[in-house]
Amino acid sequence: MEKFDVVVVGAGTAGCLAAKTTAEAGLKVCLIERKRKEGIGEKICGDALGEHHLKNLGLEKPQGGELEKRIEGIKIYSPDLKTVFTVEHEDFVGYLLNRRLFGQWLLKEAVDEGAVVLDYMLCLEPVIENGFVVGVLVKDLKTGKKVELGCKMVMDASGFSAVVRRKLPEKMEIEDKVPNEDVEACYREIRQLKQETEDTKHCEIYLNQRITPGGYTWIFPKSGAKVNAGLGICMRGKFPNPKNQFYKYILTRPLFEGSLLLSGGSWYDPTRRPLNNMVGNGVAILGDAACLVNPIHGGGIGPSMLSGYLAGKTIIEALEKSDVSQKSLWSYNCKYMEMYGAKQAGLDVFRILLLTSRDEDLNYGMGYKLLTDEDVLKAGLGEEFHLNITETAKRVFRGLKRIRFLNKLRLTVNMMKQVKAHYGNYPDAPEEFRKWRMRTEALFEEAQSKLME
Ligand SMILES: Cc1cc2nc3c(=O)[nH]c(=O)nc-3n(C[C@H](O)[C@H](O)[C@H](O)COP(=O)(O)OP(=O)(O)OC[C@H]3O[C@@H](n4cnc5c(N)ncnc54)[C@H](O)[C@@H]3O)c2cc1C
157 in ligand 1 pocket by Cβ < 6 Å?
Answer: yes
Q: What are residue 288's phi and psi, to 5 degrees?
A: -60, -30
Closest approach atom of ligand 1 to CA 188: 1
* Residue 196: predicted pLDDT: 86
Cα(11) to centroid(ligand 1), Å: 9
Distance, in Å, from the CA atom of 272 to the CA atom of 303, rounded to the nearest integer, reads 13
Per-residue confidence (pLDDT) for residue 373, from 0 to 100? 72
Which of 17, 20, 31, 34 gets mutated to test ligand 1 (max ligand atoms within 8 A of its CB)? 34
Beta bridge partners of 148: 137
Which atom from ligand 1 is nearest to the alpha carbon of 288?
A: 26
Cα 107 to averaged position of ligand 1 atoms, centre (Å):
14
pLDDT at 389: 63
Q: How close is the Cα of 74 to the center of ligand 1, in Å? A: 22
Q: Give the pLDDT band of residue 377 (cuts 50, 70, 90).
A: low
Closest by Cα among 140, 21, 123 to 6:
21
Q: Is 49 in the pocket of ligand 1 (CB under 6 A)?
A: yes
Q: Which CATH architecture group holds 3-47+98-176+273-329?
A: 3-Layer(bba) Sandwich (3.50)
pLDDT of residue 142 exceeding 70? yes
pLDDT tens for each residue of 252-292: 999 999 999 999 999 999 999 999 999 999 999 999 999 99
Higher local confidence (pLDDT), 378 or 278: 278
- The CA 160 to ligand 1 mean position distance, Å, reads 7
Q: Which of 85-89, 273-277, 391-395 is predicted most confidently?
A: 273-277
Nearest to 67 by CA among 221, 267, 205: 221
pLDDT at 193 (0 to 100): 97
Q: Do 269 and 232 form a contact (C-beta atoms < 8 A)? A: yes
pLDDT on residue 400: 65
pLDDT band at residue 156, thresholds of 50, 70 and 90?
Answer: very high
Q: Of all protein residues, whose CA lies closest to atom 21 belonging to ligand 1? A: 301
Atom of ligand 1 nearest to the CA of 203: 8
Q: Which amino acid is at 107?
A: L
The set of residues, in sequence order, having a beta carbon less than 8 Å from that of 154 and lying 6+ positions away, is 6, 7, 8, 9, 126, 133, 135, 136, 164, 282, 283, 284
E strands, 141-215, are: 146-156, 184-192, 202-206
pLDDT in tens, 217-259: 999 999 999 999 999 999 999 999 999 999 999 999 999 999 9
Listed residue (26, 5, 289, 332) closest to 153, CA to CA = 5
Task: Note the pLDDT of residue 179.
Answer: 96
Instruction: Calculate the average pLDDT of the chain.
Output: 93
CATH 3.30.9.10 is the classification of domain 184-269: yes
Q: How far is the CA of 208 from the centre of ligand 1 (A)?
A: 25
Mean pLDDT calculated for residue range 197-210 = 91
The DSSP code for 249 is I
Q: Is the pLDDT of residue 306 over 80?
A: yes
SS3 content of the chain, % helix, strand, coil (to 5): 40, 25, 35
Cα Dmax for the chain: 74
Determine the average pLDDT of the residues in 371-390: 66
Q: Mean pLDDT lowest for which of 111-125, 241-255, 387-401?
A: 387-401
pLDDT value at residue 197: 83
Under the banding of pLDDT at 50, 70 and 90, the label for residue 381 is low
Residue with the smallest CA separation from ligand 1 atom 38 is 158
pLDDT at 390: 64
- What pLDDT sits at residue 75? 92
Ligand 1 proximity of 189 Cβ (cutoff 6 Å): no
* Contact of 288 with 156, CB cutoff 8 Å: no
Atom in ligand 1 nearest the alpha carbon of residue 268: 53
> What is the average pLDDT across 376-402?
64
Q: Where are the domains of the chain?
A: 3-47+98-176+273-329, 184-269, 344-451
Using the predicted structure, report yes or no on whether residue 375 has a pLDDT greater than 80: no
48 lines ligand 1 (CB under 6 A): yes
**Pick from 369, 355, 353, 447: which is nearest to 409 by CA?**
353
* pLDDT of amino acid 399: 63
Window from 124-138, 318-332, 372-386 with minimum mean pLDDT = 372-386
- CA pair distance 436, 35, nearest whole angstrom: 39
271 in Cβ contact with 294 (< 8 Å): yes
> Using an 8 Å Cβ cutoff, are 43 and 67 in contact?
no
Determine how many CB atoms are found less than 10 A away from the CB of residue 237. Answer: 9
Residues in a beta bridge with 221: 227
Residue 122's Cβ-count burial label (10 Å; 0-12, 13-18, 19+) is: middle
Structural contact between residues 189 and 17, judged by C-beta atoms closer than 8 angstroms: no
- Tell me the CA–centroid distance for residue 12 and ligand 1, in Å: 6
Is the CB of residue 66 less than 8 Å from the CB of residue 105?
Answer: yes
CA of 186 to the centre of ligand 1 (A): 12
Ligand 1 touching residue 186 (CB < 6 A): yes
Quote the ligand 1 centre to 112 CA distance (angstroms).
Answer: 22
CB of 287 closer than 6 A to ligand 1?
yes
Asked if 277 and 190 touch (Cβ cutoff 8 Å), the reply is no
Q: Which of 12-26, 66-80, 81-95, 434-448 has the lowest mean pLDDT?
A: 81-95
Q: Which letter does DSSP use for residue 88 in this model?
A: -
Higher pLDDT, 392 or 404: 404
Q: How far apart are CA 278 and CA 290, in angstroms?
A: 7
Residue 28 CA to residue 6 CA, distance in Å, equals 6
The pLDDT value given to residue 187: 98
